[in-house]
């Protein structure tokens, strides 16, 4: 019954989004209003199915048959990936560019959101919800020709993920009452996972990449320090052994990443020809969003995610252009402002955050004052050009777990000032803000340089807070340097960033929301400090995420996740900003494009081809 309700909710959500129109919010003076026509609707083809040919269990595409050859060129901002090891990646760019090469046991259906087989031929969950039996495809191979077997699966989970190598986010998200799942080989093509208790989110964890044991095992045996550098960006392309539709061909730092077709991939078309159709994928490292637009208009890129400010212009160009525009609904991630609530010292005895700033940031009245000072509606109108909505919750606007009882509110500087007064803040004759000890309120605010949307948000928030008398030093810096500050050195005051997310499973954010999570940004603590004092609300969120994962009914889970969102809403460790609508333009020469809110535009990359 739970699954039926779950599927119905997702279908209602997705169908509603796909049929929606986009239009700008109307400015108060009702001038310069641009209505945008209905975005193209698409019909998803029949689901893929398993076809056994000469003992090999292929996954057969049911999409229209296409032409082989050609290149699809994407882009990425910033300075490029930090690693090509999917088990080491800690940022979205590295994860995207590494996971292209490694498939998981399961994937997510782009319409229903349900887990479906990928490397697995089939899977079964026991009646008590604790055992997951995975049947692998017979005869499929790694790119070096060696078979993909249960040994690879057991090794990946037991010796990499559960052993805590690389990025431990997956491991952290599946700890159940201090215990981890177990994995056992039944035979060469059957694996069984067992969880200590019924654990609703676990099935989605099985989409994690699988590593070739014969390649990764030597690196694991050399220890964690060596593994952290394994398959770095300096690794020669020919040294990668992969299972994905594409494998690395070339990496030129700060310029491009090039992938070539895997000629022995296990997905075939209806003529039983091996996919993918495309010969190459290219990711141009474009630096910033403005450069990305220039390259798309120069036809150096084939696909672009449009900022709201660009949509009306591109929609007007569309009838006379070589691209189509698609509406994917609300962004699945969340954009936020956070203050560094860390109150501890480093190994040298120095505070990560100065004591006076600790007092400000840990003061709920101060955080609320900042929240009420932010003009979200103005940001949506001027930065997103009206194509988006203010965001106040930790779950994205298209999440099936969204707490709709948490109401939005407008900027209110009077409320901000009253909250500051309650905590002893005051203003001098020039309107400068001081705390009750006479300290001028001044701090640094960071975001990642090159993301012009976040840079624009930073400029507007800086002005909003300076209207309250604060002095804000806004400092956009290179993305990798910013990540280092947030999770390693911890030397930052305020940050504007975003998290990717899933509208289907809040437990994916466990490593952000739980107090010992590896991305618990606002109060990061090294492993040795994990038992240090926590805020009371952090303790409750920890409890809610544990209970939410162990509950098996959707209705029960939603109660726990509703409460965690309410706590974030009230305590403001993350101050959410707005949710842009995802608008994508892609060259119309590319066929088999079936965009969905859950899948995006190129989730079926092996089926995409260049047509007339």
Please identify which residue in the block is written with the tokens 């989605």: 204
Q: Report the Cα 134 to chain-centroid distance in Å.
A: 26
Instruction: Give one word for 368, left, alpha or beta, with left for phi > 0 and alpha for psi -120 to 50.
Output: alpha
Check residue 175 and give its pLDDT: 86
Quick check: 227 and 170 in contact, CB under 8 A?
no
**What is d(CA 457, CA 451) in angstroms, rounded to the nearest whole number?**
10
Quick check: 89 and 297 in contact, CB under 8 A?
no
The tens digit of pLDDT for each residue in 182-241 reads 999 999 999 999 999 999 999 999 999 999 999 999 999 999 999 999 999 999 999 999
The tens digit of pLDDT for each residue in 84-93 reads 999 999 888 9
The tens digit of pLDDT for each residue in 281-291 reads 999 999 888 89
| More confident: 342 or 20 | 342
Check residue 465 and give its pLDDT: 98
Q: How confident is the model at residue 142 (pLDDT cuts 50, 70, 90)?
A: very high
CA distance to 153, 196, 222, 266, per residue, from 228 (Å): 20, 29, 11, 30
255 Cβ contact list (under 8 Å, min separation 6): 284, 285
Answer whether residue 30 shows pLDDT above 50. no
Check residue 41 and give its pLDDT: 56
Answer whether residue 318 shows pLDDT above 50. yes
What are the tokens at 451? Answer: 């993301």
Residue of 474, 437, 454 lying closest to 363 (CA atoms): 437
| More confident: 47 or 565 | 565
Answer whether residue 140 shows pLDDT above 90. yes
What are the tokens at 104? Answer: 């998981």
Answer whether residue 488 shows pLDDT above 90. no
Answer whether residue 38 shows pLDDT above 90. no
Check residue 570 and give its pLDDT: 97
Check residue 7 and give its pLDDT: 34
C-alpha torsion sign, points 578, 581, 584, 585: negative
DSSP state, 353? S
251 Cβ contact list (under 8 Å, min separation 6): 80, 81, 84, 233, 237, 257, 258
| More confident: 121 or 310 | 121
> Which value, in Å, is the radius of gyration of the alpha carbons in the chain?
25
CA distance to 15, 21, 80, 596, per residue, from 40 (Å): 13, 10, 32, 11
Check residue 344 and give its pLDDT: 80
Answer whether residue 109 shows pLDDT above 90. yes
Most confident of 332-336, 473-477, 504-508: 473-477
CA distance to 22, 388, 392, 464, per residue, from 38 (Å): 7, 16, 27, 35
**What is d(CA 298, CA 29) in angstroms, rounded to the nearest whole number?**
36
Q: What is the pTM of this model?
A: 0.82
Least confident of 90-99, 131-140, 389-398: 90-99
Mean pLDDT, the chain, whole residue set? 90
Check residue 9 and give its pLDDT: 35
Give the mean pLDDT of 108-128. 94
The tens digit of pLDDT for each residue in 575-605 reads 999 999 999 999 999 999 999 888 889 999 9
Answer whether residue 526 shows pLDDT above 90. no
Beta partners for residue 124, in sequence order: 133
Structural domain spans, the chain: 334-581
Residues in the chain: 612
Structurally, what CATH architecture does the domain formed by 334-581 represent? Roll (3.10)
Quick check: 428 and 434 in contact, CB under 8 A?
yes
What are the tokens at 573? Answer: 């460790």
Check residue 177 and give its pLDDT: 79
């Amino acid at each position: 019954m739970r699954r039926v309700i779950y599927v119905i909710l997702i279908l209602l959500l997705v169908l509603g989004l796909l049929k929606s129109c986009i239009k700008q919010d109307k400015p108060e003076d009702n001038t310069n209003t641009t209505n945008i026509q209905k975005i193209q609707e698409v019909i998803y083809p029949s689901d893929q199915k398993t076809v056994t040919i000469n003992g090999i269990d292929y996954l057969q595409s049911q999409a229209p048959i296409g032409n082989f050859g050609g290149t699809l060129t994407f882009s990425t901002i910033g300075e490029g990936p930090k690693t090509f090891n999917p088990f080491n990646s800690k940022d979205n760019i590295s994860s995207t560019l590494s996971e292209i090469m490694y498939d998981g046991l399961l994937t997510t259906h782009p319409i229903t959101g349900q887990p479906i087989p990928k490397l697995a031929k089939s899977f079964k969950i026991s009646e008590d919800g604790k055992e997951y039996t995975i049947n692998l495809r017979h005869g499929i191979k790694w790119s070096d020709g060696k078979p993909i077997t249960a040994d690879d699966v057991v090794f990946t989970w037991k010796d990499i993920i559960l052993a805590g190598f690389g990025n431990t986010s997956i491991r952290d998200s599946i700890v159940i009452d201090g215990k981890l799942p177990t994995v056992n080989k039944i035979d060469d093509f059957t694996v069984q996972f067992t969880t200590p208790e019924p654990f609703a989110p676990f099935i989605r964890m099985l989409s994690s990449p699988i590593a070739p044991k014969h390649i990764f095992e030597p690196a694991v045996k050399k220890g964690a320090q060596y593994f952290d550098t394994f398959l770095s960006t300096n690794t020669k392309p020919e040294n990668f052994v992969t299972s994905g539709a594409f494998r690395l061909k070339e990496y030129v730092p700060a310029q491009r990443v090039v992938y070539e077709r895997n000629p022995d991939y296990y997905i075939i078309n209806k003529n039983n020809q091996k996919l993918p159709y495309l010969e190459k994928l290219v990711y141009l490292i474009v630096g910033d969003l403005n450069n990305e637009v220039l390259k798309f208009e120069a036809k150096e890129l084939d696909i672009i995610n449009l900022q709201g400010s660009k949509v009306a212009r591109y929609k007007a160009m569309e009838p006379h252009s070589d691209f189509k525009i698609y509406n994917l609904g609300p962004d699945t991630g969340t954009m936020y402002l956070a203050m560094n609530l860390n109150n501890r010292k480093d190994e040298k005895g120095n505070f990560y955050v100065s004591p006076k700033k600790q007092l400000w940031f840990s003061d709920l009245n101060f955080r609320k004052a900042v929240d009420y000072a932010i003009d979200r509606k103005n940001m949506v109108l001027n930065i997103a050009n009206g194509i988006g909505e203010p965001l106040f919750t930790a779950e994205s606007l298209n999440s099936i777990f969204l707490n709709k009882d948490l109401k939005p509110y407008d900027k209110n500087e009077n409320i901000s000032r009253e909250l500051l007064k309650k905590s002893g803040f005051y203003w001098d004759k020039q309107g400068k803000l001081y705390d009750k000890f006479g300290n001028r309120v001044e701090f640094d605010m960071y975001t990642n340089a090159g993301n012009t949307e976040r840079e624009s948000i930073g400029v507007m928030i800086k002005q909003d807070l300076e209207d309250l008398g604060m002095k804000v030093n806004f400092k956009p810096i290179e993305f990798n340097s910013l990540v280092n500050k947030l999770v390693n050195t911890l030397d930052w005051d305020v940050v504007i960033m975003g998290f990717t997310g899933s509208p289907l499973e809040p437990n994916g954010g466990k490593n952000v929301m739980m107090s010992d999570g590896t991305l618990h940004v606002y109060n990061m603590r090294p492993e040795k400090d994990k038992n240090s004092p926590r805020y009371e609300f952090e303790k409750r969120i920890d409890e809610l995420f544990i209970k939410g994962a162990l509950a098996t009914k959707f209705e029960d889970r939603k109660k726990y996740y509703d409460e965690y969102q309410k706590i974030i809403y009230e305590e403001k460790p993350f101050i959410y900003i707005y949710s842009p609508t995802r608008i994508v333009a892609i060259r119309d020469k590319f066929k088999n494009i079936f965009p969905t809110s859950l899948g995006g535009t190129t989730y079926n990359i092996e089926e995409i081809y260049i047509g007339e």
